[in-house]
């Protein structure tokens, strides 16, 4: 078939989108292997699989971001051997990626009409764009002032703007890649309401998520990919969490979280006393040797700001921090590393991994001075250290010479963690350690956290995933409005208590 020609005898009238025998080969890697998946009109179709299974590669074949090596994409009875971004838009396909495609310093209505301004003669008709945006939001049940700057919106509302932007361009096939990853529980509920509304209007959707609970809440059917192959498509109501996990990873996962043992609080390794700075207000907390301290709270509550202060990214304005009983003034990240504190940041692409460097270079970049002599890197040490840590972290790559930007999100996260393990820190701060990571890789990271504390290290884990906080933490510090709202021990922790503290509805004694 040639581009744009209807497929004779096809059943595609039932379908909004079909992937027919799609393969994609890169040098040394078969990313997609003869994949056949069809998306019904007006359905929410889940696409699941481990990182590197081929999910992102598949959706890029219909968004025009990549050209398949073989196969055909069929959109509403039109067959395409290759799509471009323009062709995808012309055929009403829109993809919302994890990284938002919004201009922060522009208004909401400017973003909605970016590149497609409404004109009145030679002048831009701002009034018409604002009016149309307001009507669009009313239709979608979104309460946002069109004149608000995007940077002043919460992450959840920015997600809504991304969806509205796609709908404004008459998209009838919406592909969402981990849309809930940066959202709070309330924002996820709002997202689901919007998805159900779009479905009722006949919009078809592909929903990619590692959070299996969401698949069962919002999706009609689910397709499983593993190692570039399409294993199975089934009705969500006819499967279980356990079956999906087994299909995705090729093995059973007996426990979501590895067994944790109650730790006996002994030695305080880090303490913050009445600390102000980076927007934080009067922060006091203790961290004990060999524990996993969870930090929870809503987006914007101040969780990440604590990590930035401890790692020297932001400055303390007043108050004191003590490390091993001595005053600690984190001036720079290098100073923090020299004092045994490492940070795996929330935004791995912008702050964690060097996408243009290979895996080997990413792993050893923080210890170059240690493995160099007279300004020259010892290549043998560089290779042995990087290969050992890449193996320990189960990083899926052709070799440590593979460029990090070509890895899946989960494997990029593992490379970030491997970089800090090379430093051998005493305290490791993980900010959203499993965001955008599949269930198999999550278990590996949970096992790593356990192994770190078993070896006498200390872990501070910032997470917006309630089950993760409850399942992995020895204690949980809950943040609200840049303050510590309360502290909960492992024995007394519950989802209800965390949500109450996070919303500022209670005040629990910390010590």
Q: Higher confidence at residue 271 or residue 507?
A: 271
CATH number of 266-340+427-506: 3.40.50.300
Determine the distance from the C-alpha atom of residue 31 to the mean position of all C-alpha atoms in its chain, rounded to a whole number: 21
Residue range(s) occupied by CATH 3.40.50.300 in the chain: 5-92+172-249, 266-340+427-506
Q: Band of the pLDDT at 236, cuts 50, 70, 90?
A: very high
Rounded-to-integer distance, Cα 226 and Cα 229, Å: 5
Tokens, residue 461:
């884990």
pLDDT at 493 over 50: yes
Highest mean pLDDT among 185-199, 406-420, 479-493: 479-493
The position carrying tokens 């440590």 is 400
Which of 112-121, 259-268, 378-387 is the least confident region?
259-268
| pLDDT at residue 416, as a whole number | 86
| pLDDT at residue 12, as a whole number | 44
| pLDDT at residue 234, as a whole number | 95
Of 470, 461, 464, 460, the closest CA to residue 492 belongs to 470
The position carrying tokens 């200390």 is 458
pLDDT at 253 over 80: no
Highest mean pLDDT among 246-255, 333-342, 488-497: 333-342
Model pLDDT for residues 40-92, shown as the tens digit of each residue:
999 999 999 876 788 889 999 999 999 999 999 999 889 999 999 889 988 98
How far from each other are the two terminal CA atoms of the chain, in whole angstroms? 71
To the nearest whole percent, how much of the chain has pLDDT over 70? 90
DSSP 91: T
Rounded-to-integer distance, Cα 203 and Cα 423, Å: 49
pLDDT at 510 over 60: no
Rounded-to-integer distance, Cα 155 and Cα 301, Å: 13
Mean pLDDT of the residues in the chain: 84
DSSP, residue by residue, 327-362: E----SHHHHHHTTEEEE-S-IIIII--TTSBHHHH
| pLDDT at residue 438, as a whole number | 67
Q: Collapsing DSSP states into helix, strand and coil, what is residue 416?
A: helix
The number of helix segments (H) and strand segments (E) in the chain equals 16, 25
Q: Higher confidence at residue 191 or residue 145?
A: 145
Q: Are 71 and 62 in contact (CB under 8 A)?
A: no
- Classified by CATH at the fold level, domain 5-92+172-249 comes out as Rossmann fold (3.40.50)
| pLDDT at residue 349, as a whole number | 66
Tokens, residue 19:
């992937």
Model pLDDT for residues 19-39, shown as the tens digit of each residue:
999 999 887 778 899 999 999
Highest mean pLDDT among 100-104, 162-166, 234-238, 442-446: 234-238
Average pLDDT over residues 217-244: 92
Half-sphere exposure of 466 (CA within 13 A, CB side): 16
The position carrying tokens 């720079």 is 332
Q: Higher confidence at residue 34 or residue 443?
A: 34
Model pLDDT for residues 102-160, shown as the tens digit of each residue:
888 999 999 988 877 777 778 888 899 999 999 888 877 778 899 999 888 877 788 78
Average pLDDT over residues 199-219: 89
Q: Higher confidence at residue 144 or residue 435?
A: 144
What are the phi and psi torsion angles at 466 (to 5°)? Answer: -60, -45
Rounded-to-integer distance, Cα 336 and Cα 313, Å: 9
Of 405, 356, 369, 363, the closest CA to residue 384 belongs to 363
| pLDDT at residue 2, as a whole number | 32
Q: Are 232 and 224 in contact (CB under 8 A)?
A: yes
Rounded-to-integer distance, Cα 265 and Cα 188, Å: 36
Which of 220-229, 292-301, 336-345 is the least confident region?
292-301
| pLDDT at residue 194, as a whole number | 85
The pTM assigned to this predicted structure is 0.61
DSSP, residue by residue, 424-488: --SEEEEESTTTT--HHHHHHHHHHHHHHHHTT-EEEEE-S-HHHHHHH-SEEEEEETTEEEEEE
The position carrying tokens 């939001």 is 137
Tokens, residue 132:
């149309």
pLDDT at 8 over 50: no
Q: Band of the pLDDT at 287, cuts 50, 70, 90?
A: very high
Average pLDDT over residues 231-260: 79
Q: Are 404 and 416 in contact (CB under 8 A)?
A: no
Q: Are 227 and 247 in contact (CB under 8 A)?
A: no
| pLDDT at residue 45, as a whole number | 97
DSSP 66: S
């Amino acid at each position: 078939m040639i581009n744009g020609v209807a497929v004779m005898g096809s059943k595609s009238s039932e379908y909004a989108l079909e992937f027919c025998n799609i393969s994609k080969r890169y040098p040394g890697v078969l990313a997609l292997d003869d994949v056949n998946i069809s998306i019904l009109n007006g359905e929410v179709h889940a696409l699941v699989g481990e990182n590197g299974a081929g999910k992102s590669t598949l959706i890029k074949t219909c968004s025009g971001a990549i050209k398949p090596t073989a196969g055909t994409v069929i959109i509403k009875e039109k067959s395409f051997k290759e799509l471009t971004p323009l062709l995808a838009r012309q055929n009403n396909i829109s993809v919302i990626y994890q990284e938002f495609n919004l201009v922060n310093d522009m208004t909401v209505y400017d973003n909605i009409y970016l590149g497609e301004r409404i004109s009145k003669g030679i002048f831009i008709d701002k009034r018409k764009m604002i009016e149309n945006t307001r009507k669009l939001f009313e239709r979608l049940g979104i309460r946002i002032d069109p004149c608000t700057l995007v940077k002043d919106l919460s992450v959840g509302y920015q997600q809504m703007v991304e969806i509205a932007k796609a709908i404004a361009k008459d998209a009838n096939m919406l592909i969402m890649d981990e849309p809930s990853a940066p959202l709070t529980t309330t924002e996820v509920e709002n997202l689901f309401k919007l998805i159900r509304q779009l479905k009722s209007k006949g919009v078809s959707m592909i929903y990619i998520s590692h959070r299996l609970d969401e698949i069962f809440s919002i999706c009609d059917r689910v397709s499983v990919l593993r190692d570039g192959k399409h294993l199975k498509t089934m009705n969500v109501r006819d499967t279980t969490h356990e079956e999906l996990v087994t299909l995705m990873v090729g093995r059973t996962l007996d426990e979501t979280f590895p067994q944790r043992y109650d730790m006996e609080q002994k030695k305080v390794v880090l303490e913050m006393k009445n600390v102000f700075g980076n927007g934080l207000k009067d922060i006091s907390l203790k961290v004990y040797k060999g524990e996993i301290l969870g930090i929870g709270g809503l987006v914007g509550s101040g969780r990440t700001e604590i990590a930035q202060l401890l790692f020297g990214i932001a400055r303390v304005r007043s108050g004191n921090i003590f490390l091993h009983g001595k005053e600690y003034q984190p001036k720079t990240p290098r100073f923090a590393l020299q004092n045994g504190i490492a940070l795996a940041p929330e935004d791995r692409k912008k702050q964690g991994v060097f996408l243009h460097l290979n895996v080997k270079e990413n792993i050893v970049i923080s210890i170059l001075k240690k493995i160099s002599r007279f300004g020259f890197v010892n290549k043998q040490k560089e290779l042995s250290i990087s290969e050992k840590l890449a193996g320990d972290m189960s990083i899926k790559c052709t070799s440590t010479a593979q460029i990090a930007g070509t890895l899946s999100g989960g494997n990029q996260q593992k490379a970030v963690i491997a970089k800090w393990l090379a430093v051998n820190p005493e305290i490791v701060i993980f900010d959203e350690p499993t965001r955008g990571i599949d269930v198999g890789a999550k278990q590996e990271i949970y096992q790593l956290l356990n192994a770190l504390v078993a070896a006498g290290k200390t872990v501070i884990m910032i997470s917006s995933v309630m089950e993760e906080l409850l399942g992995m933490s020895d204690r949980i510090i809950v943040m609200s409005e840049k303050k510590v709202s309360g502290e909960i021990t492992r024995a007394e922790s519950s989802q209800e208590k965390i949500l109450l503290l996070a919303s500022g509805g209670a005040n629990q004694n910390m010590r």
